[in-house]
Amino acid sequence: AEQDYLDRTPRSAAAQARAARVLPGGNTRSSLWAAPYPLSITGGSGCRITDADGHEYVDFLGEFTAGIYGHTCSELEQALTEAHRGGFGLSSHTPYEAELAEELAARFPSIDLLRFANSGTEANIMALTAARLVTGRERIVVFAGGYHGGVLTFGSGNSPVNMPFEFAVLPYNDLRAAEREFTASGDRIAAVLVEPMQGAGGCVVGTPDFLQGLHSLCNESGALLIFDEVQTARMAPGGAQERLGITPDMTTLGKIFGGGLAFGAFGGSAAVMGRFDPSHPDAIPHAGTFNNNRLTMAAGLEAVRRHLTPEALQALFARGEAFREALNARFAARGGAFHVTGMGSIMNIHAVAEDAEVRRDRLRLLHLRMMERGYYFAPRGLIALSFPLGEAERAGFLDALDTVLAAGGANSE
């Protein structure tokens, strides 16, 4: 399978070799790297993408969940063109900015006031900064397998890239461990930063008991509960927090709300977020040339109003649930070498085996075989459905999967 990949993607290999001369690893997103080299995707339309060698794929990755609109969208194109023609980079705030803020504050129960940033990473860094300054405490509780941005990636121990915060890295979905941490250091904990579903960690869904328990621990100790909804915001108009019925103290957002452009946002109660008002006596500075980029704000506003409607989000969630169940049914019928976890339209295929190396090889082979059949998802198994991905494409994926599994394609080289 590996040799087949090398044979059919020489232009991706060449693109990688060229790029690696000026970009360490050949690109600017470490998450895109996969041995021997990632595909070079040269274009896309709707739910389809084309690689440098001219192969077409149905895109089941959806830009790691940010690409919910697919690759072409006339309404977003028009909103961007209008904003562009109206003058961008005006050295000022813009009406788009306030309107997008109104839309998001109305949707998320936890958000009275919010601010924009350029990425989910930045949004999380600002939320943690706010929590530390507002509580006057140092310690931040996070979870192994958590991903909140490049410098906020958590394995099981502390990592030198996580400075300057003091992190306690606890096991996810283990409320007892969190209780022990709060008993030992509750009065030093500024915040708990948690994904309602760990996305990059493999689509591990947080149990309601765990997330509710964290909420109680934070309430009792005066720490702030921060939900990172950079990925899970699409689960309902008010995000996963709406589905769970839990209102955290702060919420961070990203990805889909930029309408395809770089985006981040962090928000919370007026008491906390009011500290960002420059007229506050103890104002927290937060500037950023592109925080309110007129193009991003215009695209985001159009996206929220026209595409991220309650009906559309509900339907996408239901399609995702059904697709995950269909995948699991196929895998179970073919011997159970894989299973799929996730929530709504975001899911992750996992190989099932004792040995980590066997798991890795098995998933890798499945991934290669599915790419040969024209279906694209992340090498680590991530699938994120987009709006234009239709019934026919989903059925095609399931059929291709059947063919691959029937050929033993996931068990042998």
Binding site for ligand PMP (CB under 6 A): 64, 119-121, 124, 147-149, 195, 199-200, 228, 230-231, 254, 264
Nearest to ligand PMP of 188, 380 (CB atom): 380
User: Could you tell me where the DSSP H helices lie in 136-269?
Assistant: 175-185, 208-221, 239-244
The CB-of-7 to ligand PMP minimum distance in angstroms stands at 32
93: how many CB neighbours lie within 10 A of its CB? 12
Cβ nearer to ligand PMP, comparing 148 with 319: 148
Closest by Cα among 293, 386, 303, 385 to 104: 303
- State which residue, 149 or 342, has the beta carbon closest to ligand PMP: 149
Shortest Cβ 110–ligand PMP spacing (Å):
16
CA-CA-CA-CA torsion sign (376, 379, 380, 381): positive
Let me know the angle formed at the C-alpha of 391 by 390 and 392, rounded to the nearest 5 degrees: 95
The label of the residue with tokens 């109680």 reads 216
CB closer to ligand PMP, 26 vs 264: 264
Residue 100 or 365: which CB sits closer to ligand PMP?
100
Nearer to ligand PMP among residue 124 and residue 386 (C-beta): 124
- Could you tell me the smallest distance in angstroms from the CB atom of residue 250 to ligand PMP? 13
> To 5 degrees, how large is the angle CA 124–CA 127–CA 129?
110
The one-character DSSP state at 235 is: G
Instruction: Output the CA–CA distances (angstroms, integers) from residue 227 to 29, 111, 206, in the order listed.
Output: 24, 11, 11
DSSP assignment of 173-187? T-HHHHHHHHHHHGG
Minimum separation from the CB atom of position 154 to ligand PMP (A): 11
Nearer to ligand PMP, 154 or 182 (CB): 154
For residue 277, the minimal CB distance to ligand PMP (Å) is 25
Largest interatomic CA distance in the chain: 68
Q: Which residue is nearest to ligand PMP (CB)?
A: 120
CA 319 – CA 332 distance, rounded (Å): 20
Smallest gap from Cβ 65 to ligand PMP, in A, equals: 7
Work out how close the CB of 199 gets to ligand PMP at its nearest, in angstroms, rounded to a whole number: 4
- Contact of 231 with 89, CB cutoff 8 Å: no
Distances from the Cα of 195 to the Cαs of 10, 46, 157, 210, 231, in angstroms?
A: 39, 29, 18, 11, 8
CA–CA dist 336, 331 (Å, integer): 5
- Residue (of 407, 359, 402, 358) closest to 380 by Cα position: 359
- Which of 119, 124, 115, 107 has the alpha carbon at shortest distance from 313? 107
Nearer to ligand PMP, 218 or 226 (CB): 226
CB of 10 to ligand PMP, least distance (A): 30
Closer Cβ to ligand PMP, 121 or 291, answer by number: 121
Shortest distance (Å) from residue 280 CB to ligand PMP? 27
